[in-house]
Amino acid sequence: MDQMIYLKDVVTLELHEERCVGCGMCLTVCPHAVLGMDNRYASIKNRDACMECGACARNCPTEAVRVRSGVGCAAAVINAALGRDKASCCCVVESKETPGDPTACSGGSKESTCC
């Protein structure tokens, strides 16, 4: 079965190979098999299948994996299911109440822009 691709070439996923110790935790927690192992170290196999949930980054003991969770299609799916009006894949630019608030696409008075 083919992997689902959310949007092409927009994922914020980064892998810093020099930090990877080859523990494989990122592979274990990734729900879409985005990462794989090459020569005992992690590598990105299918970047466009990443839904930016952030599980890989949160579970990497050496911070070799980085991703801006809450800004991609996973956030859009969750927001749509919750009936929020900002259902598209977007990122917060500014909050009028609290500038710099990292909450993505939560509706209300947040100003957002598509990635």
Tally Cβ neighbours within 10 Å of residue 75: 26
| Structure confidence by residue, pLDDT tens digits, 7-44 | 677 789 999 999 999 999 999 999 999 999 999 999 99
pLDDT value of residue 92: 41
Q: What is the pLDDT of residue 3?
A: 58
Domain architecture of the chain: domains with CATH:
14-66 (3.30.70.20), 73-114 (no CATH)
State how far the Cα of 50 lies from the Cα of 59, in Å rounded to an integer. 16
Return the exposure string of 47-73: e unless at least 16 CB atoms fall within 10 Å of the residue's CB, then b: bbbbbbbbbbbeebeeebbbbbbbbbb
Q: What is the pTM of this model?
A: 0.60
Q: pLDDT tens-digit profile of 46-89?
A: 998 888 889 999 999 999 999 987 666 666 667 777 787 654 45
